[in-house]
Structures are given as structure tokens and as C-alpha cells.
Chains A and B, each alone.
Chain A
């Protein structure tokens, strides 16, 4: 015998269904709204100060109109390249160890715990720590010690990237189905080769996303740079010298008493966000071309 549902029940179901859908849409809007609002406000405040000079010139001394943040953009590029060169390989290697070789061992548990703690370390503390490790001690035969430098800034940002990269790499590798590993081993591949050429490759879209998250996060960091890269009003690409960075320059300009500088700070913020979005999209695009269509 068929169960008869009353009219009331069916209406109740339709209603709860709509309610749940509505709540999901609302939650999405709450997440997206601040981002859109920030972006619109930045365009409103900063777009007027954007001109060719902003991208080509050095900052002018207070009182003189104009000037740009070209050196800070170069500085950020140098710092982020160095940070990625440290954070990405170390993070990925640690993640591979956690997921593939050291699963369940004491060392792996210790590494995972350290990474979690490192993830929670406030960025200003990271800056102070690198200051104490690299800048405070002056050792004659060791390069980069004893003074503010781009190198120390890159190290601080690089260390901050490691936990994010490491954790996402581990998670993505653990998501690779066991059957894929068995397929590789069944073909006569040694374990290390199966891990590197099959498992890591299968997980690579997720690993790349993790790297981009870490990159985007440190790209906007100011605090770790205050004690390390220090900032610089002039052109510099020497790793051994203090270097300018966009977030640092924004911080200094936004707090300054000059209207002109504050306008430049708005423009700098807009440029910083756009550059991060561009960098992330570019890497995603390049990575997605390597992975074939139809693969999920």
C-alpha cells in the first residue's frame, strides 16, 4: 500500500528546501560582500592616484607632489620570489614526507605539530625571530648577518609559507586514491618513483592551489618585514641591502600626515590586490593547461 502524504507535509518540505537554499545563498553573499566592498572602495580611493609615474618613479620627499612606488613593486617581487624559493620546496618536501614516507612515525607527528604551531605564530613574532637570528648577530664570515636586508625579509616570508604549503600538500596527497598508488607499484615502479611521478603528479592541482594560498597570504604581510627588509626609499635589488616592499610602503604612507602620501597608499593597496589576483590567476592558468581536460 502506498503511503499517502498530506498536502501539509509536502508544502512543509518545499518550504524547508527553499529556506535551506536561501540560507546557503545568504552565507555566500556574506563571504563575498566584504571582498567586493573592499575592492570597490580601493578603486574609488586609489584609482585617481594611479598614473604612469606610480609604476615608474621613486617616492618623492614630503612636500613634493607626485612620485610612485616602482621600487616597492620591484622589492615585493624580489621578496616574494625569495620567499617562494624557500617556502615552496621545503613545504612540499615536508608534506610529501608526512603523507608518503613518514606516515604514523614520531618524526612525522612532531613535524605536523610544529607546522600547526608555526601556522599560528603571529607574523610580527616571525619578524622579531628572524631579526634575532640573522640581523642581531654580526658574524664577519657569514653573509647577510648584522644588518637589515632583503634576504632576511625573504627568509621571514618564506618560513611563513612553509606550514600552509606543507599541510595542503599532505592533505592533497592523502586524497589520492590507494588504487592509483597500487597501479604504479603494480607496474614495477620503485616506491619513491611512484610517489614522485604518480602520486604527487595526481595531486598537483591541489598542491599548486596550496602554494598560491601561501603566496597570496605573505604577499600582503607587513609585520615580518618591519624588522627585516626594513624598507628603502630608493631602487634596490641587492639581497644584502634593505629593500622596499608594497605593504611596508603602504603602512608608512598611510600613517603619514601628508594627504599626497595617503593617496599613494590607497593606490598602492589597489595595485597590491590586483597584482596578487593576477599572479594567482596566471599560475592557475598555466597549471591547468598542463592537466588534461576530463581529469577531475
Chain B
């Protein structure tokens, strides 16, 4: 089951560049939340702060509080613990190239020392079914490399890999931007299925995509969150002039 995310006074820096300024928002559990905004507005940085990937960059800094469920992730937990509970899917599909499809999905569990063969088989099957890839790969799970799949399949493999560790939150950083329309619509269908079990935060450049998959939408601009509301309201009757300008295509 997913949990909600509570962000208060979040600030982030890359070196002297203040990329996120005073972000406050509540992301509801078991819903999809979309983040939109022009390139470089801080939305990717924001999701990377939710699983502490931001700080893997040596010049990056962060301040403020992020609560995932009851857990204050910057004060009460290590990055490793957080990342097991908060899965992430990246912009470009990044399966492990030397591993089979099976090993790719099992990687997260194996890296965490899980070694029960039987249970592993079940988890791999369930994760691949959840990511709608099972039927396409079930005959060559251990024979084929993850890198030999098509781009869209690779991205669903990456989703399966993230699901296998049973996270509560799934962060998706432009998961469909490198994919063709057919693969994109498969990923969107998937988000629809998955949000019943997980809290999903999806960064997207595609406003139709945001409108299709998300209940809530946040608009970022120049490191600040301009508006956060129900998707319907953002796209039909935004309260801020800048949001309106952006979604009607006047800039960005």
C-alpha cells in the first residue's frame, strides 16, 4: 500500500545554484501526482530529493523536511533505507546490460541480500506481470539480456525492477519521454493500474500525459512551485496567471 508524502520548506542546491526554493506540498497516498514545468525548473531535482538521490552528487545540498508516511527521511533514516521504500524509474531505460531479464528484476532483492530462490521466482513473475511485460518475455527470462529488449520493453523492465523491492512510493522521472507513442500509452495504462497499490509521482513534459494519468498536478517554475491542485483545476481553471500561460503554450 502506498503512503502519502509531506514536504515542507524544502530547499536544494547544486553548488551555489539554488535549484529548489521553499517547496511545500502534500502528495496523497495511492494516487498519481504529476509535476509539470519548463526544462530546468527543478521538477527532476524535486523527485530526486524524495528518495535522497539528489545528494549522490557531491556538490548537492538539501534542507527542509520530507515525510514519507510517518518517516522523516532526512533525519530518521539512511539513504539506503529510503531508496528501498521509494522506487525510482528514470528518463532513459537503464537495465543492467550484463544481466538477464530475470536477474534485472531480481537485482534489487539480491543487492539487499535476499536469496530465497522459490520466493524470488514468484516475485519476479509478479513484478513482470504488474509491469505488463510478462507475456512478452516469459519464455526467455534467463536467456535474454535486459539490454536486448526494445526501448519500451526496457522501460517496463525497469518498472518491474523497481516494483520487485515492494516500495510504497514510485517516482517516475519522465518515464516515457524516450519512447514511441505505443510504448508511451502502455506505460500510461500501467500507471493507471499501479496507482491502486502505490503512491506515484511522475515528472512529465507532456501535459496531455499529466492530464490523462494524474489526479493532482503541480506546476514548477524557476525552482518554485507555483501551483498545486487537482489536475482538472490546473488544466481548466488555474489560479495563477503563470500556470495558465504555461499550459496554453505561451512560454516554455
Contact = CB atoms under 8 A, between A and B. Distances in A.
Chain B contact patch, size range: 35 or more
Interface residues of A, number: 26
Contacts of A201: 96, 98-99
- Among B51, B97, B162, find the residue whose CB has the most chain A CB atoms closer than 10 A: B97
B100 A292 contact: yes
Interface stretch (A5-13, A191-199, A222-230, A239-247): A191-199
Given A294-B145, A295-B98, A295-B147, A197 B111 contact: yes
Interface string A173-200: 0000101101111111110011001100
A194 B111 CA distance: 8
Given A188-B80, A293-B148, A193 B98 contact: no
- Among B82, B83, B87, find the residue whose CB has the most chain A CB atoms closer than 10 A: B83
B83 A291 contact: no
A14 interface: no
B143 A292 contact: yes
A292 B99 CA distance: 7
A3 interface: no
B148 A295 contact: yes
Contacts of A189: 80, 108, 111-112
Interface string A266-294: 00000000000000000000000001111
A185 B145 contact: no
A202 interface: yes
B144 A188 contact: no
Interface in B59-111: 79-85, 87-88, 90, 92, 94-100, 107-108, 110-111
Nearest to A198: B96
Contacts, number: 93
Contacts of A197: 110-111
Interface in B157-182: 158, 161-162, 165
Given A294-B144, A294-B147, A295-B145, A187 B97 contact: no
B51 A292 contact: no
A150 to B, nearest CB: 37
B116 interface: no
A193 B80 CA distance: 11
What is the predominant secondary structure among interface residues of chain A facing chain B?
helix
A293 B94 contact: no
A271 B51 CA distance: 58
Contacts of B165: 187-188
A185 B80 CA distance: 8
B56 interface: yes
A205 B80 CA distance: 29
A204 interface: yes
Contact of B111 (A184, A204, A293, A295): A184
Contact of A188 (B90, B111, B158): B111
B226 interface: no
Nearest to B82: A188
Nearest to B143: A292
B146 to A, nearest CB: 8
Contacts of B84: 187-188
B144 A185 contact: no
Contacts of B83: 185-188
B48 to A, nearest CB: 9
B144 A183 contact: no
Contacts of A204: 98
Contact of A177 (B94, B100, B112): B94
A179 B94 contact: yes
Interface of A: 177, 179-180, 182-190, 193-194, 197-198, 201-202, 204-205, 291-296
Given A184-B96, A293-B144, 15 more contacts: A179-B92, A180-B97, A183-B161, A187-B83, A187-B84, A187-B87, A187-B107, A187-B112, A189-B111, A194-B111, A204-B98, A292-B98, A292-B143, A292-B145, A295-B147
23 contacts: A180-B94, A182-B53, A182-B94, A183-B90, A185-B56, A186-B53, A186-B87, A187-B165, A188-B82, A188-B111, A188-B112, A188-B165, A189-B108, A193-B111, A197-B111, A202-B96, A202-B97, A205-B98, A291-B98, A292-B98, A293-B148, A294-B148, A295-B147
Interface of B: 51, 53, 56, 79-85, 87-88, 90, 92, 94-100, 107-108, 110-112, 143-145, 147-148, 158, 161-162, 165
**10 closest A-B pairs by CB:** A294-B148, A188-B84, A187-B108, A188-B83, A189-B111, A179-B94, A292-B145, A186-B88, A294-B145, A295-B145
